[in-house]
Amino acid sequence: MSLTDDSKEYNILIKKLFRCAQHINTNDAIQLPQICVIGDQSSGKSTTLTALTGVPFPTAGEMCTKCAIRVKCSRDEDLVEDVFTIIVNKVSKPIKKEELCNEITNIQNQLTGNKKTISKDVINIEVKGPNQMEIILIDLPGIIHAGKDGLGNDIRDLINNHIKDERTLILNCTAATNDDELFETLDIISAHDLDGKRNIRVLTKFDKFNSDSDI
């Protein structure tokens, strides 16, 4: 995939910011551009992220995302294919693409004690490849609608904490088969993005329509 002149200029600028951030110890010194991906449980978040980054996120099971998963993508035209690295507790290791999905699941289960809960820890993944773009995406746990207490509130707090920064773009995945009033993400976003200038809505699961009358 070739880059336009604007894209090339963006890539050069972001690469410089990435290099600066690596040499600064204070995490808040440089706020790098990032996209937070939110949605209900089983809304197609993980599938969307896989399409954007090439990272095979877990998609099977009731609760696939149990903590924030931060994916840093970098373009390297010297590479023939994507190269993946996973970082947990500041320990990094290269990993094959076909092993990533199971590794993400195993780490999440370790962080949560294999329970139906979430962790405030962050799994970091770096992917470099010839067709990648310099960007950071964060996958967040899907919203649970069965009650406002306990786990549901913990998930909402985690989402609010990640999307509140004005420099963060919000990617809102919503199933096309459901009505708007069912999506709590729309209310969460409106509390942080009053002008609607930093969120993008992605409609998913068009293949789930049973007939033309469902549209």
pLDDT averaged over the chain? Answer: 83
* 98 φ, ψ (degrees, to nearest 5): -70, -10
Structure tokens at 43: 């809304």
What sign for the dihedral angle of Cα 132, 137, 140, 142? negative
How confident is the model at residue 101, as a pLDDT? 94
pLDDT tens track for 20-62: 555 555 445 455 668 999 998 888 888 899 999 999 998 866 6
For residues 19 and 92, which has the higher predicted lDDT (pLDDT)? 92
Task: Decide if pLDDT at 10 tops 70.
Answer: no
How confident is the model at residue 39, as a pLDDT? 92
pLDDT tens track for 150-190: 888 999 999 999 999 888 999 999 988 877 777 889 999 99
Task: Decide if pLDDT at 145 tops 80.
Answer: no
Task: Report which of 110, 113, 114, 81 is spatially closest to residue 98, judged by C-alpha positions.
Answer: 81
Contact call for residues 184 and 172 (beta carbons, < 8 A): no
Structure tokens at 80: 């023939």
Confidence label for 213 from pLDDT (cuts 50, 70 and 90): very low
Comparing 8-12, 74-78, 116-120, 174-178, the range with the smallest average pLDDT is 8-12
